Structure 1
Amino acid sequence: MSSYSHGLDVSAYQAAQDWKKHARDGITFAFAKASEGRNSRDPKFATHVRGIKAAGLIPGAYHFAWPNQSATAEAANYIGAVKPYAGPGFLHWLDLERYSDGRNYHGRTAAQIRAYAATWVAAVEHAFPGQRVGIYTSADDIAAGRVPNGIPLWYPAYPGKSVDTYAEAERHSRPSPSGRTVTLWQFTSTPLDRSIAYMPPTALREWAGGTGKDDDQAPSKYTAPAFPKGLAPDKSTPSAVPLQRALKAAGYMPKSVKESPSYGPQTQAAVARFHNAHTRYRAKGSTHDVAIGPKGWAKLHRLAYDK
């Protein structure tokens, strides 16, 4: 069995596809552009995504980012576009790339773009609990510090004629831009955008469904602080303050919430949002787990501070 999965992505620029034929030809996953900016939606998204799902492929969608607009408004645009089609096993992607004239990045620093991306991802994770959310982005964006850590990466880089088939992409070394691990590599745009995933089809389906091994870990020397003793929802302890700060930094608690030693309702709600975005840390059978444990604490800190 192959250690890789093959995929395609399309937008309004592509005609309707024979997705069942693509499936017979060995395609495992396919993504369609859903939206762009605050208001724009791809006119062929519904046609594409329905065909992808009907063919039994792992489905997904992407949103083209305008970091100099509101991240929450853009997330709402995307969520509205994909909500009728998203379900378990659906993959969501933020397409974070600069227009050639820079109009979608104009006036924003690298830190502001990174914060925009983290906010967009957190909003989509909250809207679709348990579903994977990743970022499609370039080596330049990663090197410039515009891409948050701890998020699956779909990476475009085209070697040219030396790698223009799936077989050649599989034989090529796995890209590692700025030392980051990539989950998907888009290696050509001819005749369609084509990508490989670094998991066999069965493992990719498990991963897309929110289970299976994480493949989104960026190499890092960051180590989360030890889990505080006595940190629990029914106790008032100074330990709640660093928890609140981490929740804010990771985008799960509004920055306007006043810090308090009390592990109160707002902290509990933020922890529940974190758990619903990262269900492996949530108590089994719960949809509102408000008690963070050592493994969840480490994951939250990495998301918040491993920049």
Structure 2
Amino acid sequence: MLKAIDISSLQAHPDMDGVDVVLIKASEGRTYSNPRRDAQEKAARGGGKQVGWYHFLWPGDIQAQAAWFVRCADPQPGDVLACDWETTLDHTAASCAEKDAFLAAVKRLCPHLRVILYCNLDFWKRRDSTSECGDGLWIADPDVPAGKPRVKHSWVIHQYGIRGGQDVDVCNFASVQAWKEWAGVPAAPKPTPPKQYVPPAFPKGLAPGKSSPSAKPLQRALRAAHFMEIVDGDLSDTYGRRTQDGVGRFYVKHPEFRSKGQPHDTAIGPKGWAFLFTLAYGRK
């Protein structure tokens, strides 16, 4: 199971060490937003945590609350959204029908995100009449070991206690990758491998002392690889002495491409041609 915490504005500096998932309070009712949510989100994402958001539901104005929640959370692809269904400070609570309507409204606004229900054991067993929990149940049951909530319904998160002034949870997933696949976290783009340089084919008729259109590309390659100094105006179709000297300097540094038994070889062969062009243009 994955380790998680859920936090609100009460946690100015939440401890995220060893945590896989961070669930942040985004909003409450129609007007309240968590003033620390941006900093908490930044810390969570900067630490490589998976992120979820929750809204403390009040009775009434369900559609407006859903819109306010999505606006405050501003979720990214793969974030999880939760309805926090419990007793308010006014000792009121949204009805089961309102809870269901809120889940549906958020899902309409964010159809590609997971939308789940948070509630305690009393609300789930005594106030809920539909078992509607969207894409998953986040159950608060602090009197049992982590991962052993007293519900028959399948669950995705269990809030099992408080540590260091913040609620602690476990998520019913074998790995972070399993959570990502469930939550729909976009896969990281695979890096595009660099294109492998392919040297031009070795030309026919290229030889010292002869004229060939391929002499100019050879001269440019020798220049690019720093074996020949020549300006564009002096490039020639003639495989003359300057070109031969450039090839000779290439062989001094790379004698393995020289013809065997010819220590003063000035003719470029197919393998030497390919290596020279790769040296000149294919190595970034």
1:46 aligns with 2:38: yes
Q: 2:86 aligns with which of 97, 101, 106?
A: 97
RMSD: 2.1
Which residue does the alignment assign to 1:17?
A: 14
Which residue does the alignment assign to 2:56?
A: 64
CA distance in 1: counterparts of 2:131 and 2:96, whole angstroms: 6
Which residue does the alignment assign to 2:154?
A: 181
Structure 2 stretches of 5 or more lacking a match? 187-284
Alpha carbons 2:84, 2:117 under 8 Å: kept: yes
Q: 1:198 aligns with which of 168, 172, 187?
A: 172
Alignment size in residue pairs: 182
> How far off its partner does 1:17 sit?
3.3
> How far off its partner does 1:150 sit?
5.2
CA distance in 1: counterparts of 2:137 and 2:119, whole angstroms: 7
Residues 1:144 and 1:53: Cα distance change in structure 2 (over 3 Å): same
Residues 1:127 and 1:187: Cα distance change in structure 2 (over 3 Å): same
Which residue does the alignment assign to 2:109?
A: 127
Aligned pairs (5 A) from 1:162-177? 163=145, 169=146, 174-177=148-151
Q: 2:96 aligns with which of 114, 118, 127?
A: 114
Any idea what the Cα deviations from partners look like across 1:118-169, whole Å, max 9, x if unmatched? 2211121122221100010011111224364252111111127xx4xxxxx2
Residues 1:7 and 1:206: Cα distance change in structure 2 (over 3 Å): same
1:74 aligns with 2:65: yes
Any idea what the Cα deviations from partners look like across 1:33-84, whole Å, max 9, x if unmatched? 1100111111111111121122221101100011x2211111111011012x
Alpha carbons 1:117, 1:148 under 8 Å: kept: no
Q: 1:149 aligns with which of 128, 132, 145?
A: 132
Any idea what the Cα deviations from partners look like across 1:90-121, whole Å, max 9, x if unmatched? 0000000113762345xxxxxxx122112211
CA distance in 1: counterparts of 2:40 and 2:177, whole angstroms: 23
After TM superposition, the score normalised by the length of structure 2 is 0.59
Residues 1:43 and 1:142: Cα distance change in structure 2 (over 3 Å): same
Which residue does the alignment assign to 1:243?
A: none
Residues 1:100 and 1:74: Cα distance change in structure 2 (over 3 Å): closer
The one-letter amino acid of 2:65's match is: E
CA distance in 2: counterparts of 1:50 and 1:16, whole angstroms: 12
The one-letter amino acid of 2:51's match is: P
CA distance in 2: counterparts of 1:210 and 1:126, whole angstroms: 19
CA distance in 1: counterparts of 2:15 and 2:125, whole angstroms: 38
> How far off its partner does 1:210 sit?
7.2
Overall identity of the aligned pairs, in %: 25
1:8 aligns with 2:17: no
Alpha carbons 1:130, 1:210 under 8 Å: kept: no
Any idea what the Cα deviations from partners look like across 1:276-299, whole Å, max 9, x if unmatched? xxxxxxxxxxxxxxxxxxxxxxxx
The one-letter amino acid of 1:203's match is: A
Residues 1:8 and 1:150: Cα distance change in structure 2 (over 3 Å): closer
Residues 1:101 and 1:123: Cα distance change in structure 2 (over 3 Å): closer
Give 3-state SS (helix, strand or coil) of 2:163's partner.
coil
Q: Name which one, 1 or 2, has greater alpha-carbon Rg.
A: 2
Residues 1:187 and 1:18: Cα distance change in structure 2 (over 3 Å): closer
Higher RCO, Cα 8 Å, sep 6+? 1
Alpha carbons 1:34, 1:63 under 8 Å: kept: yes
Give 3-state SS (helix, strand or coil) of 1:189's partner.
strand
The one-letter amino acid of 1:16's match is: H
Residues 1:104 and 1:149: Cα distance change in structure 2 (over 3 Å): closer
